[in-house]
Structures are given as C-alpha cells and as structure tokens.
Structure 1
Amino acid sequence: MARRSVITLDEAWERLLSSIAPLEAEQIPVDESGGRYLREALVARRTQPYADLSAMDGFAASGEGPWAVIGEARAGHAFDRALSPGQAVAISTGAALPQGADRIVVKEDASLAQAVLRADPLPTPGRHIRRRGFDFKTGDTLLAAGTRMAAPHIALARTAGVGTIGVTRRPRVAILECGDELRADPVDCPPDGLPASNGAMTACMVGSVGAEVSSRVLVPDRLEAVVNALDDAKDADLVLTSGGASVGEHDLIKPALERAGFTLDFWRVAIRPGKPLIVARRGSQLMLGLPGNPVSTFVTAFLFALPALRRMAGSERALPQPINLPLAGVLPAAGTRREFLRARLSPEGATLIDERDSSALAALARADVLIDRPIGAPVQAEGALVSCYLLENGAIA
C-alpha cells in the first residue's frame, strides 16, 4: 500500500499499536502507584480476613441462648479463650471471633441483665460473620499485569501485604506547537495572533494516562526551526506536534521529519475530524503529527496519542472503550469518513451538538461524549443506540 493512501481507523490502530512495546519496568512504593500500569501480576502475601471476623457490633455467642457474657473482643484485641456452649463475649465490628463462637447477636437485638445475654429474634448461625479468607488468600492473583492502578487497587495491594510493585516507566512526551500566529501568553496576545492552546490541552491529556511532558515549545513556520525542535526532542518516547501536518505551502512537518531522520509510516486516516494525521518513527521513538485545528487535535490525540501512551506504559487495553447510549434526537447519515461527533448527555441520552467546525472549542468543552459514526451509516432515529466514547472533560461532573 502506498504511504499516501488513506487508511481506515482500524488499520491505523493496528499499525500503530503493533509496533509499540512497553517501556522498561521499575519498582516503586505502592502508595505512589496511582495512574501507573502493573508490569507483573499482583499476588497476595497474606490472607484477608486473617480469621473469622464479626461484621456487626454486638456479641459473639456459642450455641443457643441465653448466654453468659464472659469478656470482650475488639478489633486488634482478640479474646484469648475458647467459648463453650452458652457463653458469649461482647464484640466490635472487625474483631476476631473466639474459638467456639458460631453466631453473632447484633447489638440492636440484644438485652443484657446481670451478665446474662438474651436475643430477640434469635440469631441465625453464621450470619454477620466474615469468614477467614473470603476476600483473598495468600498466593491469590489479585490484579493482572497491565492493570492501571487506582485508589481501590492501592488499598487492595496494601491489604494484601504488598509494599512495592513493579510498574512500567512513565512515557516521556515532547510537545511541539507549530505556527507563526501562536503566542505563549494568552493575556498578552495581539488581535492577529492566537493564544497557543493545543500544547496545554494535549499536555493535560497525556498526563491523564500517566505520561509526563518532558518539553513543550512553540515552533515558528520555518523548516530549520521545526528540524531543530525535533532534534531537541530526541530523548522523548513520543513526539507530539500540532499544526503543519497537511499539504499546504507552510505545512512543514513532513519535510522536517525527513531531515530529522524519521521514517514515515502513514499520514492520512479516513476519519473526521483529523484526516491529516502523521505517524512516523526515529529508531524506537514514535512521532504523531496532529492537525492544528483544536478539535481535530483533541480527537486525534484521544484516538492515537492516548492509546500509544497506554501501550508504552504497559496497558493491555490501550484503545478507548466504547459504550452504547440512546440518541436524544435524530442523527443524520454519515459520509465517506468515520466521524466522531461531539454530543451532550441528558437523561434521554446523547444529544448531538450542532456546531461541527473543527476550530470550535466552546462546543468541544460542552461535549460529554464522542459519537462514533461508521462510514456510510444511515440516518438513525431518536432512541436508537449509538457507540460513544466518554470524555473526561468535566462536563458531566
């Protein structure tokens, strides 16, 4: 296939991800692992719970009542003797049951007079007891390699007796914004200039998958300047550019890539927005040339940069995961490219945002989801299910 051919999104994903291997592994404290991807499975080093525990405040009892109350068990302070039938101890939630206890009298059902306990109704044997190892046991595999660590995973790892874990190194990303019109200061910007926004936007996006921005620069529309900026980014795992990826007189990314030693893989994908997307490589370094219009930058970063970084970081599920949502209005027929339409969510479903221009940032900021429209899809009526990608842009928070 000629490199100038337009390829489908699925083919582009396959070509991109099949060439990316996870970066090196490193050991870090589990408390610092939020957002990182496990390099190896997480295996429990202890059993949880370590013993049969009470799930309620009340009394641990042996046999049928009434019971003589002979002591107390608290979390971290077990009662150190066995119970005989007809005996009980006061117990708090999370405390270990004494040997011989077979039921819990919850506090609300208990009456205690002169150290004699009665219950109404009578407790069911085994109820309100957390059995030893019901959550996990020593040697159980708790999380698979490639899992992205989040708050519940950190709590799980600590409870499993794990203090340090192997994760993949954070990918380093160099971001280049190309264009003479761009200004770094959004406050001090002349009328004929444009506050640079794509770099800040993509920096936020790559940070959301655990990558770190190693550099972020504005590059003027001069071939030598673009080449120098690419050379300065040699230590990055991924180079992201925005602007200059098309075929206009001042679109310099492609010739600059050749001068800087990159090999072009593909540069046009049958999607809207974002057709002029460049994918190139320099040794093990990946380069993605994103379109300059901000909506196109966002969509192509969402569809390509974030999956590439997830794969570098060791994720087993690099691609965004779609969900089916009902339409809250009519969706027009699709064209000859796979479209990603901005939409808002309501109790009725996804509502298409009318503004479709690829420079319209206000419409992007209002969007909760991208509707994925296949090539040639017919008109779809209100209530029809459509494939959507949730956006983490705060719009539905």
Structure 2
Amino acid sequence: MISVAEARARILSAFAPLPAETVALPDGLGRVLAEPVVSRLTQPPFHAAAMDGWAVRAADIAAATADRPVPLRRSGESAAGHAFAGSVGAGDAVRIFTGAPLPDGADAVVMQEDCHADDAVVRVGRSVAAGRFVRRAGFDFAAGQELLPKGRRLTARDIALAAGGNVPWLTVHRRPRIAVLATGDEIALPGDPLGPSQIVSTNALGLCALIAAQGGLAHNLGVAKDTADSVATMAKGAAGCDLLVTTGGAAQGDYDLVRDVLAESGVALDVQAVAMRPGKALMFGRAGAVPLLGLPGNPVSTGVTALLFLRPILRVLQGLPPEDDRLPLRARLTVGLRANDRREDYLRATLAADGDGALTVTPFARQDSALTSLYAQADCLIPRLPNADPEPAGAVVTVLPLIDGVLSL
C-alpha cells in the first residue's frame, strides 16, 4: 500500500487542463475561464446620478439651509435612457433620477428630500459639495480592464459582471466527460425488482451527481455483471471520455474482476491500494486510451475516495488547482479521539458554532463504511494521519468541509 499523498501525486500527474471552447454568456455558470474576461466598455459610460434629486452646480447652493433655501430655475429632466439635452447654467436645476446622465454644467446632485419644487422653481434646502451623489464615468470599471481572471469558476455574480462589461461570449475549459461503471451481480437499479440477494445501486448515481456538482458531464454506463466479458464489454462505453470511474471490483476477492480485466489487457496499474480508511481498495491505471480510476464498492468508501481523488481530477481538468484554496478549515473537537492505526483515516463529522461563534466539529460515533445515512448527514471529514496520537475534547483539528462545487453564488 502507498500513502494518500503519494497516490494523489501519481494520479494527478496524469491529468492536465482540457482544451478551451467558446460558450454564450448565459451558458457560463459553473464553467472555468480559460482566458480572462475583459470589459468592452466603460461603466458607467458617463457621469451618472447616484440618487433621485436635482442636478445642480454646487457653487449655486453653497449658502442653502433648511431655514433659508436657495431658489433655482427648473430647467428640465434627465432620466435613465433619456438624458437632458441642454446644459446647467448659473441658477439652473434639472430633475434627475438614479442612473441618469449628469447634464453638462452640473457637478452635484441634491437629494429630492432636501428640495421643494413647483412647475418653475426648485427651492434647495441643503448645500452639497461638488461631486456629491455623482458616479463618475468609469466609477465601476473601464474599457480594456480585466474583470474576471483566467482560472475562475464562474458564479451568478460573475455572469452579471461579464454582462455589464458587454461580453457576450466566454472562453472556458471544456467540461470533463466522465464515464461511470458500477459492477456486481448484487446490484439493482432504484425502482427495479430486487432479488433475494440484491441491493439497490447507490454508488453510480452518487458519483454522477458529484461529477455534475464539480462541473463535469457524467455518462452512466450501467451495471456490469461479475464476469470478465461483461466488465470488458461495458467498459468500452468509456471511449472518447476523459476518465472511466468504476465502483466495486477493485479489491482482491474472487468476484472483484475489474483488476483482473485490466491485467489481462496488459495494463500496468500506477496505484493498486492506498493506506487509508475508508477506501483501501483503490486503483488507478489506463483502460486503453482512457485513464481509469477504480473506487471501492462500499458506498461511504466510494464517496470518500471520490472526494479525495475524483474531485481533484475534475478540478485539474477544468484548469483549477486540485484543491479549493479556502480549504481546509480548523475546528474544535467536542469529543476526544482515540489514537489512530497505520492507515490514514477520514472520520465523517458535523460542524457547528459554539456560543462565541467558533467552529466546532463532532465525529459520528459510528464510522462503518456502509452507513450512507450518516454520510449524507456529514458536513465534513476529519483527516487523521497514520499512527496519530489521541486528541482530547477541545483540541483544534483540521477538517475538510463538504462544500466545494459549481453552485457558489
């Protein structure tokens, strides 16, 4: 067995960012930029009002107070999309609305609450400095300015920003195409009749969901039977994909055939077992022209190994670093932990905040790799190094939150 760190290094070294493609702006959510987004215009393109009120010359109302308002001539109106065509001269005021262009000659806006107007005269009851409530041209960004950097996964806010920069197309990395193949005579699809020795398939659907959440395109190849021919035939469905992920059949039992099928094809495995819990039975190699990641069959083992190995592969293929640089976090244990054995352990746990707002973490009392209900409730994993010493309640430990995905707003 090799360490988790060595296995990750070997596996990730086999992948590089996928080529770029161009997509329409509305299709960019969750995609990763292969080139920066550069603004095609200046925003705002003109000096604009930040408030509803009156466009004035600040010098004209320097002496204005609520008790002694300064009268100005009402000269016109500037609304969003309908600029005032004239100019503001000495003693003039122009009605203006938020976002509307500031008329020539004006250098400030007085809020409408500080003014009283009739059809001809505006009485200003407050002085303002030049530039007050005015958004200068380029206040947000300028033409030619980089708005979003290469390597950024696009959020809804990013889509809005690119639209504001008048950018209709985006250059992004192609989405990874990942084939998923479950194995085992005992596996039936959800909703299908179950035989006396069968269980419902969960791993493939969970993996497909993880792939989608990480920005990939999942191709569910179905369930292969426990025969070499079935595994080999169904694995051919991965042709043209960027990765084949299998679940089950990676151990060394009589019916764990994925490893044997690869061996018969003369494929050398770069990874055959990892010193970790859950997930020891993990392998990585190549099935013809397609890289293959073989995950264990126990559902929690599948989930944890997918987070530790498949997720970083998906990130690298999309031009991202293997791990989100906001992770991991640190949290205080609410219960003590026993000493660890020789395998790196990943405890499923929940996060909370104490009375002071500090992050706390509570591992589940049961850590069996078949407990899918507890895994679904987990907020994080607590990684523990091989042969780690006991940790008392109150100790601060590293946690890996289960939050990374394409749906960040």
TM-score by length of 2: 0.88
Q: CA deviation at 1:392?
A: 4.2
- Specify whether residues 120 and 323 from structure 1 end up closer, same or farther in structure 2 by C-alpha distance, changes over 3 A only: farther
- Contact preservation (8 Å) 1:327, 1:381: no
Aligned 1:167-206 pairs, distance under 5 A: 167-186=172-191, 188-206=193-211
- Specify whether residues 366 and 215 from structure 1 end up closer, same or farther in structure 2 by C-alpha distance, changes over 3 A only: closer
Q: CA deviation at 1:191?
A: 4.1
- Specify whether residues 378 and 71 from structure 1 end up closer, same or farther in structure 2 by C-alpha distance, changes over 3 A only: farther
Partner residue, 1:352: 363
1:44 and 2:39 correspond: yes
Partner residue, 2:342: 336
Partner residue, 2:111: 106
- Pick from 74, 82, 89 the counterpart of residue 84 of structure 1: 89
Residue type of the alignment partner of 1:250: Y
- Specify whether residues 303 and 86 from structure 1 end up closer, same or farther in structure 2 by C-alpha distance, changes over 3 A only: farther
SS of residue paired to 1:263: coil
Higher deviation after alignment, 176-185 or 121-130: 121-130
- Pick from 249, 253, 258 the counterpart of residue 253 of structure 1: 258
SS of residue paired to 1:298: helix
Within 1, Cα distance between the matches of 2:73 and 2:6?
A: 74
Q: CA deviation at 1:185?
A: 3.5
Structure 1 residues 50-73: Cα deviation after superposition (integer angstroms, max 9, x where no partner)? 112222222222123233331111
1:153 and 2:148 correspond: no
Aligned 1:60-75 pairs, distance under 5 A: 60-63=55-58, 64-65=60-61, 66=70, 67-75=72-80
Partner residue, 2:305: 300
How many matched pairs? Answer: 388
Within 2, Cα distance between the matches of 1:73 and 1:309?
A: 51
Q: CA deviation at 1:108?
A: 2.5
1:361 and 2:372 correspond: yes
The structure having more radius of gyration, on CA atoms, is 2
Q: CA deviation at 1:120?
A: 4.3
Within 2, Cα distance between the matches of 1:387 and 1:68?
A: 67
1:132 and 2:137 correspond: yes
Q: CA deviation at 1:45?
A: 0.9
1:144 and 2:144 correspond: no
- Contact preservation (8 Å) 2:238, 2:290: no
Partner residue, 1:24: 19
SS of residue paired to 1:95: coil
Higher deviation after alignment, 169-178 or 209-218: 209-218
- Contact preservation (8 Å) 2:225, 2:231: yes
- Pick from 81, 95, 100 the counterpart of residue 95 of structure 1: 100
Within 2, Cα distance between the matches of 1:227 and 1:153?
A: 43
Within 2, Cα distance between the matches of 1:129 and 1:388?
A: 47
Q: CA deviation at 1:288?
A: 0.6
Within 1, Cα distance between the matches of 2:393 and 2:89?
A: 68
- Specify whether residues 69 and 386 from structure 1 end up closer, same or farther in structure 2 by C-alpha distance, changes over 3 A only: farther
Partner residue, 1:277: 282
Within 2, Cα distance between the matches of 1:49 and 1:252?
A: 63
SS of residue paired to 1:264: coil
Percent identical: 38
- Contact preservation (8 Å) 2:348, 2:363: yes
Within 1, Cα distance between the matches of 2:191 and 2:378?
A: 23
Within 2, Cα distance between the matches of 1:161 and 1:304?
A: 38
Q: CA deviation at 1:183?
A: 0.6
Partner residue, 1:319: 323
- Specify whether residues 393 and 99 from structure 1 end up closer, same or farther in structure 2 by C-alpha distance, changes over 3 A only: closer
Q: CA deviation at 1:382?
A: 4.2
- Contact preservation (8 Å) 1:111, 1:118: yes
Within 1, Cα distance between the matches of 2:87 and 2:381?
A: 62
Structure 1 residues 266-317: Cα deviation after superposition (integer angstroms, max 9, x where no partner)? 12223221122111124652211001011110111111112112211222x2
Gaps of 5+ in 1: 1-5
- Contact preservation (8 Å) 1:48, 1:133: yes
SS of residue paired to 2:304: helix
- Contact preservation (8 Å) 2:341, 2:387: yes
Within 2, Cα distance between the matches of 1:11 and 1:78?
A: 65
Q: CA deviation at 1:175?
A: 0.8
- Pick from 196, 209, 212 the counterpart of residue 207 of structure 1: 212
Higher deviation after alignment, 287-296 or 128-137: 128-137
Q: CA deviation at 1:157?
A: 1.2
Within 2, Cα distance between the matches of 1:250 and 1:283?
A: 22
Within 1, Cα distance between the matches of 2:297 and 2:194?
A: 18
1:166 and 2:161 correspond: no
Cα RMSD, aligned residues only: 2.2
TM-score by length of 1: 0.90
- Contact preservation (8 Å) 1:244, 1:253: yes
Within 2, Cα distance between the matches of 1:209 and 1:308?
A: 10
Residue type of the alignment partner of 1:52: H
Residue type of the alignment partner of 1:344: T
Residue type of the alignment partner of 2:33: L
- Pick from 379, 385, 393 the counterpart of residue 396 of structure 2: 385
- Contact preservation (8 Å) 1:180, 1:221: yes
